[in-house]
Structure 1
Amino acid sequence: MKSIDINCDLGESFGHYHLGNDKEILKHISSANIACGFHAGDPLVIKNTIEAALSEGVSLGAHPGFPDLNGFGRRVMKLTDDELYSCVLYQVSVLKSMAEALGGTLKHVKPHGAMYNMAAIDVKMALVIARAIQQVDDQLMLVGLANSEMIKAAQMIDLPVCNEVFADRRYTDNGFLVPRSHDGAVIHDEAVCVQQVRDMLFNNEVTSINGKQVAIKADTICIHGDNAEALQFAKKLNASLADEDIIVSSIN
């Protein structure tokens, strides 16, 4: 039987600020990308999210971002290579240590927000991120935008890599994500979400926001935890995949 990983960005609450429906979503995914405290999350949220993921048998991943709590890590920041390397090294190390202290194992790393989007088109930046991950543990898998510079960077240094596609985001004609500032960038219709995933899995293509068919490789499917429809999408995707005898299973 064919299998596919479904991942979600979780642990993005902070102090009294609550975001997402993590505990319920964890029942319908196979991999969790846990915020590391720079763009979202705090020590208690990180601990609770790790424990909740372990209780559901969900694979653990680190979700490092820019040091930008106010902007939720979605604002462009120009860091030096050394600053970026240290930023990623620190966050991944924290998640790895906390996961192990709580009886789990960190399996993958997925950059967040602006860091993710910038590294997708900048191989030099992607290499800095990949080398920081490799420094922590050369068996960690880098999860990056399918067919992007992040995939190439990981392959250049023999770091395990995973092509990520998005269930709830629109694509440009060249296979990148439509910026959130544009109308229609985020999908809120579950039928559209499911059809986009089906096209990516069965046809290896996605329809761009302009109607163009773009070739794509799907190893893992992302649902954004901060999307209001995240839980609904996760349930619908699981049901649709089950109808096709596709197992939801961690890429690891």
Structure 2
Amino acid sequence: MVYALLAACTATSAVFGYRMLLRLSRALSIGLTVLLVIGVVAYAGDFTTAAPTGTEYLLGGFWPTWLLATVSAALSGPIAFITLLGDYTRYISPRRFSQPRVFRASCAGLVAGLLVPHLFGTRTALAVGAGEDYAGPLVAAAPAWYLVPLLVNASAGSGGQRGADALQHVPGTWTRSCRERRARRRPTWSPRSPRCWSTSGTSPGPHRTLTSFVPLLTAVGTPWAVITLIGFARVRGRCDADALQVCNRRARGGLYWYHGGGNVRAAVA
């Protein structure tokens, strides 16, 4: 029932677009952060810095394991959003907010927004002695009064992110193959989006699959972001808006066409 409700919310937020998603994200970020803080209090009596009995470092030692955790947990989160930020920031008025200010706000939001749930997960995992299974011990150790907030956090916490995925990735994926308007295309493709399904936990073995895929995404996304930012700095943020619409018009050529529509030098780099 929760997955069905999440799927409906995802498709709805994608159909009605950016403004609805912005209001939804604002409410969720504030409300769920409050619930996380309450959760820290709920599990405070069981908190310990000792690892669960019988566990070992995943890579055999502290530093290799710490490095893997840093890449997969700390760095992969902000990197995962680099393909989404462009679609969000284009709605922000350049007359009201400068590019450096938007950049700083984006960085702060990503770090703070992703650090809070990671710290909650780390603290509660130690408190309940979670090993391979996190959700089971978390529920078993929860005080009765925190069970409902825990359910709300676990389910509603996915809503904003799934809507963002559908808003950005579904229309972007089908731009070249579909001529329909966004509002007509999103309800059709939102439930079919592999990203929306896999990241909401409904794919086979989602935890193991995503954990394995995260370092790969980080390894590909990080250099892509660096190359893009270097290019942005070289042209000082100026671009040919008309030439960027070549693919949308099903045309060829233009300033950014390079070699057959791709920038081979950038891809090699």
Q: TM-score category by the smaller chain?
A: under 0.3
Q: Which has the higher helix share?
A: 2
- Of structures 1 and 2, the one scoring higher in RCO (CA 8 A, sep 6+) is 2
Which has a greater percent of strand? 1
Q: Whose Rg is larger?
A: 2
TM-score, length-scaled by structure 1: 0.24
TM-score of the two chains, using structure 2 as the length reference: 0.23
